[in-house]
């Protein structure tokens, strides 16, 4: 967005993969009305009040322990508006080998912590009695309480993090002293570590997910640090988005409500962890008598200390038919499996699509694909 020279606008809210006028968690906004205002001003050259609107509108979340639940109806916070993003692009620039605006870098306000043995401190600690390195091994189920990275945005979806102390118990943790003031954090945090490993592949994230024994070295000449970016630009706080317009939809009869069930199983003998998610996407009858029925089944498995054993299987079942089944009776099944087989640098993907009409095969095809894993 910062590189675009044309007219631009951005709205960032707490929604998943849904439109802002219908997504969860709330607040919902009148997204269609906002699009109309944008077009009126930039295309029709009317609605002069819109010219004073900032380019960026972001919903700033407030910490709230009451939101510690996998399903949230609403996030607490407030809208802030400004015309530039002083820090957010830097991580993107570095990752894509682009030039960083040094003026932006100077204006950044940051909080820096230094990692030492089991602690985060604002100054480098020199203590010969503390270990100079920590070795650790995190099991592959670490992160199950952290929520979904790509939430769908439905009120029924358990996308959000729960009590993450379960993940903390499987992680290498560094604690700071209690904060004595409020910080407005904004942008990508960065972590600098000195690592050694006895394997060729690894993943470093906020919660470490280790392939095998890893070691962090604490070196005063090249310190391990955690840097948090703060919001220090001026911004306005208005909640002037319109409410969503509720349009009259097609009347339908709900035959079955939607629901989601999640099961986590640990096989102590094989040390395989399985996460199984059964989603009932409801069944509805439309005015012409057409019945629509949809369910999905997702199965994720991984061995406790072997990330190359990961396997994902997603099955989706669709049915639509008339009650007397005289005209159409369509059954659709899709099956997708992703895994690594011969090489840890390659993903294997198997797709299957089956379509039957009135119990007769209409379409049946399988795809077998391989994708290289990109290592930067």
The number of helix segments (H) and strand segments (E) in the chain equals 4, 18
Tokens of 189: 């945090």
203 vs 213, higher pLDDT: 203
pLDDT-based confidence at residue 225 (cuts at 50, 70, 90): confident
Average pLDDT over residues 197-222: 54
pLDDT of residue 210: 32
Contact between 253 and 278 (Cβ < 8 Å) = no
Q: How many residues does the chain have?
A: 376
* pLDDT at position 90: 56
Distance of CA 72 to the CA centre of its chain: 15
For residue 224, pLDDT over 80 is answered with no
The torsion angles phi and psi of 186, rounded to 5 degrees, stand at -155, 125
Q: Which of 27, 28, 44, 48 is nearest to 36 (CA)?
A: 44
In a domain, 302, yes or no: yes
Measured CA to CA, the distance from residue 183 to residue 230 in angstroms comes to: 7
Beta-sheet pairing, 133-136 with 77-82: unpaired
Question: Residue 302 and residue 210: Cα distance in Å, rounded?
Answer: 13
Cα 18 to Cα 244: distance, rounded to the nearest angstrom? 14
Q: Say which range, 68-72, 91-95, 125-129, 337-341, has the weakest mean pLDDT.
A: 91-95
Please give the Cα distance from 130 to 117 (Å, whole number): 6
What's 340's DSSP letter? -
Q: What is the domain extent for residue 45?
A: 10-94
120-129, 144-153, 237-246: least confident range: 144-153
User: What pLDDT is stored for residue 208 in this prediction?
Assistant: 38
Domain boundary among the residues 94, 110, 135 is at 94
Q: Which of 316, 332, 330 is closest to 364 using CA atoms?
A: 332
Question: In the listed set 44, 70, 94, which residue is the last one of a domain according to the structure?
Answer: 94
| 8 Å CB contact between 203 and 185 | no
pLDDT at 189 over 80: no
What does the alpha-carbon distance between residue 155 and residue 300 come to, in Å, rounded to a whole number? 22
First to last CA, the chain: 24
Joined tokens for residue 45: 């050259």
C-beta separation of 181 from 211 below 8 A: no
Dihedrals phi, psi of 65, to nearest 5 degrees: -65, -20
The rounded distance, in Å, linking the Cα atoms of 356 and 119 is 60
Average pLDDT, the chain: 79
Asked, for residue 137, whether it belongs to a domain, the answer is no
Average of pLDDT values for 299-327? 88
Is residue 227 assigned to a domain? no
Indicate the number of domains in the chain.
Answer: 2
Q: Which of 70, 94, 118 is the last residue of a domain?
A: 94
What does DSSP say about strands 56-61 and 10-12: parallel, antiparallel, or unpaired?
parallel
pLDDT at 214: 44
- Higher per-residue pLDDT: 176 or 246: 176
Q: What is the mean pLDDT of residues 346-357?
A: 93
**DSSP per residue, 182-206:** ---B-S--EEE--EEESSS--B--S
Residue 68 lies in a domain: yes
The better pLDDT of the pair 358, 103 is held by 358
Q: Are 344 and 373 in contact (CB under 8 A)?
A: yes
Distance CA 160, CA 370 (A): 31
Confidence band of 278 (pLDDT split at 50, 70, 90): very high
213 vs 28, which has greater pLDDT?
28
Residue 328 lies in a domain: yes
The answer to whether 338 touches 349, Cβ cutoff 8 Å, is yes
Kindly report the pTM of this predicted structure. Answer: 0.70
């Amino acid at each position: 967005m910062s590189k675009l020279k044309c007219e631009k606008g951005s709205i960032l809210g707490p929604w998943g993969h849904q439109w802002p006028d219908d997504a969860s968690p709330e607040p919902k906004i009148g997204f269609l009305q906002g699009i109309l205002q944008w077009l009126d001003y930039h295309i029709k050259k009317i609605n002069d009040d819109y010219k004073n609107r900032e380019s960026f509108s972001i919903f700033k979340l407030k910490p709230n322990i009451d939101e510690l639940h996998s399903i949230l109806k609403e996030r607490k916070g407030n809208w802030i508006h400004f015309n530039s993003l002083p820090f957010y692009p830097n991580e993107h620039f570095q990752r894509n080998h682009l030039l960083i605006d040094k003026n932006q870098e100077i204006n950044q306000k940051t909080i820096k912590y230094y990692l030492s043995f089991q602690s985060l401190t604002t100054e480098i600690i020199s203590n010969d009695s503390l270990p100079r390195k920590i070795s650790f091994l995190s099991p592959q189920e670490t992160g199950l309480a952290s929520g979904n990275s790509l939430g769908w945005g439905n009120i029924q979806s358990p996308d959000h993090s729960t009590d993450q102390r379960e993940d903390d118990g499987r992680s290498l943790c560094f604690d700071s002293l209690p904060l004595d003031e409020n910080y407005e954090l904004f942008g990508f945090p960065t972590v600098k570590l000195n690592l050694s490993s006895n394997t060729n592949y690894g993943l470093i994230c906020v919660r470490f997910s280790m392939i095998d024994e890893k070691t962090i070295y604490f070196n005063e000449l090249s310190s391990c640090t955690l840097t948090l970016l703060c919001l220090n630009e001026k911004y306005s706080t208005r909640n002037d988005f319109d409410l969503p317009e509720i349009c009259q939809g097609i009347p339908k009869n709900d035959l079955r409500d939607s629901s989601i069930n999640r099961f986590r199983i640990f096989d102590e003998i094989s040390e395989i962890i399985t996460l199984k998610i059964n989603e009932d996407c409801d069944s509805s009858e439309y005015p012409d008598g057409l019945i629509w029925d949809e369910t999905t089944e997702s199965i994720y498995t991984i061995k406790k200390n072997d990330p190359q054993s990961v396997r994902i299987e997603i099955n989706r079942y669709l049915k639509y038919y008339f009650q007397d089944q005289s005209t159409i009776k369509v059954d659709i099944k899709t099956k997708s499996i992703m895994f690594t087989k011969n090489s840890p640098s390659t993903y294997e993907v198997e797709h299957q699509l089956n379509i039957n009409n009135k119990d007769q095969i209409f379409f049946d095809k399988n795809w077998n694909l391989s994708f290289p894993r990109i290592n930067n």
